[in-house]
Amino acid sequence: MSEGGVHRTVVAWCPDWPLVAAGLVTEPSAVLKANRVVACSAPARSEGVRLRQRRREAEAACPGLVFVSEDPARDVRTFEAVVSAVARFSPQVEVTRPGVCSLPARGPARYFGGEEALAALLAQAATGAAHQIGGEYAPTCRIGIADTPFAARLAARESVIVPSGQAARWLAPLPVSVLGVASIGELLGRLGIHRLGQFAEMDEGVVSGRLGVEGMRAHRLARGLDDHRLVLDEPLPDMSIQRELEDPVDRVETIAFIAAGLAEELASRLSGRGLACTRLYVEASTENAEELARWWRADRPFTARSMVDRVRWQLEGWLTGAAAAAGAPGAPTSGIILIRLTAGEVTPDSGRQLGLLGESAEASQRVERAVARVQGLLGHESIGTAVMAGGRGPLEQVRIVPWGEPRAEGLPATQPWPGRLPPPAPTVVYATPIEVSVRDLHGHPVEVSGRGRPSGAPSRLFLGPGREYTVTRWAGPWPSDERWWDPALHRRRARMQVLLEDGSAHVLALEGGRWAIEASYD
């Protein structure tokens, strides 16, 4: 029994996890996203329901099909139970996405008496945890082992242990669609290449020329090689960032907020050096010295936003999951006082080059001439570009600079600003916010106390006669006390996000007792 390469991986896969999490996996059920099926239960599949079907098609195949909307937070939160079970086999367990986690094969295989034995024990442990969540008839968890994480994920679908050195041969008959990148799959299809084996035989130069960096990466996967890009040899200092909190915090949103600042700093340290990371280690400790540390992996390099997502999911699972409720060992009994993020698998970020070129490029004469003519038609200040600026409100975060004036940034935009709404940013920002009346269920105007508590849940917005809207979801208020040190510029505002019945989403701001729509997410 060979031990395989350095990255020989075990993958544990719980099929149809979103339906297990929703408690519907034993009935015909499916998850819809943008009107299409993205997951379904085995009973649904046996009736003919398939992924990517539209809602109507699925209903026609299986009348009585139960639909659930996507809830990634719930999927991750419940999956924590399985991850904890797997973590007992190796502290280096890594969550790829809800339903799939992986760990290195070498150490655990040696300890548990071989890969077959390991696979059997893992399957049992993970399935046991899955049954706690989805009931005793939830699908059993499948284990796959192979030389690369990519091959191991595919091996898990068939509960296979691919012998060491055989990854390429085992992958060869699989269709190129398993690469998971639609554009590459389509292009290969047009070239008459339908199987990974055929793709693997293509010349590297041709792949690079026609498919670019992404194509090269996929090519390595198809050949059974690791998808790890050239990883830097020496770990860099500064790849870890942490914050100790004076007062313990047990609200996930608050921690996510703090983590957002850490993530932005870490992301900018990386990008400032032209680097990116595809693994992230998130550690959280409580006042009573309970700890939860997890590795997370992403296919594309982590952005600050995707880092914060992982922190939120990890803590939601830990603080609010079944383990916490049951008082299991290791479950938190007090608030969090330490958060640490560490970047792993740091590689040069090839996607940055374009940005650098753009920044140093000078406007061509063509652009200058066009601008001059527009200024002649409309005036000097009529045309310009924008620079990022510091500030909390959606309006202040960007500044317009008339053409010809220096594009110096006013305030560093990368520093986290307390009170600033996290991304995604709204696509429409009203220079003059639209006044609106916000009422709760009983028709009373919604107010916000000094401590930031709303007097009631916002239920209806009134813009004018005949223009009333129902609020279906909301969050906040998030108070911001801006420039309190400057009497002239001091502003106290509270903001909320609301989703209306017509599917539109907006930012509401309260200032001086009056509500207005500050921005919309069109």
Partner 1 sequence: MLLARERVLPATDLLASSLPMGGLQRGTTTIVTPSSPGSAEAPGSTTLALELLAGVSMGGYWCAAVGLANLGILAAAERRVALERLLLVPFPGGAGRWQQVLATLFDGVDAVLFAPPGPVRSSDARKLSARAKDRGSLLIVLDRHGRWSEPGDLRCRVTSSAWSGLGEGHGLLAGRSVEIEVSGRGAAARPRRTAVSLTQMGLTA
Question: What's the token pair of residue 363?
Answer: 């406007």
Report the residue number, 89 or 313, with the smaller CB distance to partner 1.
Answer: 313
Cis check: omega of the bond before 477, within 30 degrees of 0: yes
Q: Is residue 17 within the footprint of partner 1 (CB under 8 A)?
A: no
CB 142 within 8 A of CB 123: yes
Among 1, 400, 441, 463, binds partner 1 (CB under 8 A): 400
Among 1, 6, 27, 33, binds partner 1 (CB under 8 A): 33
Report the residue number, 397 or 480, with the smaller CB distance to partner 1.
Answer: 397
Q: Is 145 exposed, middle or buried (0-12, 13-18, 19+ CB in 10 A)?
A: buried
- How far apart CA 328 and CA 330 sit, in angstroms, is 6
Minimal distance in Å, beta carbon 502 to partner 1? 5
Q: Is 127 exposed, middle or buried (0-12, 13-18, 19+ CB in 10 A)?
A: buried
Among 216, 231, 338, 371, binds partner 1 (CB under 8 A): 371
CB 147 within 8 A of CB 165: yes
Q: Which of residues 164-183 bind partner 1 (CB under 8 A)?
A: 180-183
Minimal distance in Å, beta carbon 462 to partner 1? 16
Minimal distance in Å, beta carbon 368 to partner 1? 8
Q: Is residue 42 within the footprint of partner 1 (CB under 8 A)?
A: no
Among 84, 285, 397, 480, binds partner 1 (CB under 8 A): 397
Among 34, 230, 326, 489, binds partner 1 (CB under 8 A): 34
Stretch near partner 1 under the rule CB under 8 A, chosen from 203-211, 242-250, 321-329, 470-478: 470-478
Minimal distance in Å, beta carbon 300 to partner 1? 7
Contacts of 205 (CB under 8 A, 6+ apart): none
Phi-psi domain of 430 (left: phi exceeds 0; alpha: psi -120 through 50; beta: other): beta
Among 199, 295, 403, 417, binds partner 1 (CB under 8 A): 403
Q: Spell out the alpha helix ranges (H) of 362-424.
A: 365-378
Q: Is residue 254 within the footprint of partner 1 (CB under 8 A)?
A: no
Number of residues that bind partner 1 (CB under 8 A): 81
Minimal distance in Å, beta carbon 234 to partner 1? 27
Q: Is residue 430 within the footprint of partner 1 (CB under 8 A)?
A: yes
Minimal distance in Å, beta carbon 143 to partner 1? 19
Among 64, 272, 329, 366, binds partner 1 (CB under 8 A): 366
Among 64, 272, 358, 487, binds partner 1 (CB under 8 A): 358
Whole-angstrom CA distances from 156 to 40, 46, 328, 489, 491 are: 18, 21, 29, 60, 56
Which phi and psi (to 5°) does residue 198 adopt?
-65, -40
- How far apart CA 117 and CA 443 sit, in angstroms, is 64
Among 121, 216, 322, 505, binds partner 1 (CB under 8 A): 505
Minimal distance in Å, beta carbon 319 to partner 1? 13
CB 170 within 8 A of CB 162: yes
Minimal distance in Å, beta carbon 310 to partner 1? 8
Q: Which of residues 44-83 bind partner 1 (CB under 8 A)?
A: 69-73
CB 245 within 8 A of CB 314: no
Report which residue type is found at 171. L
- How far apart CA 335 and CA 285 sit, in angstroms, is 8
Among 2, 333, 385, 470, binds partner 1 (CB under 8 A): 385
Among 206, 236, 428, 463, binds partner 1 (CB under 8 A): 428
Minimal distance in Å, beta carbon 109 to partner 1? 25
In a 3-state reduction of DSSP, which class is residue 398?
strand
Question: E strand or H helix at 511, and its extent?
Answer: strand 505-511
Q: What is the DSSP string of 307-372?
A: HHHHHHHHHHHHHHSHHHHHT-TT---S-EEEEEEEEEEEEE-GGGHHHHHHHHPPPPHHHHHHHH
Report the residue number, 130 or 256, with the smaller CB distance to partner 1.
Answer: 256
Q: Is residue 132 within the footprint of partner 1 (CB under 8 A)?
A: no
Minimal distance in Å, beta carbon 51 to partner 1? 11
CB 260 within 8 A of CB 422: yes
Stretch near partner 1 under the rule CB under 8 A, chosen from 123-131, 199-207, 287-295, 367-375: 367-375
Minimal distance in Å, beta carbon 505 to partner 1? 5
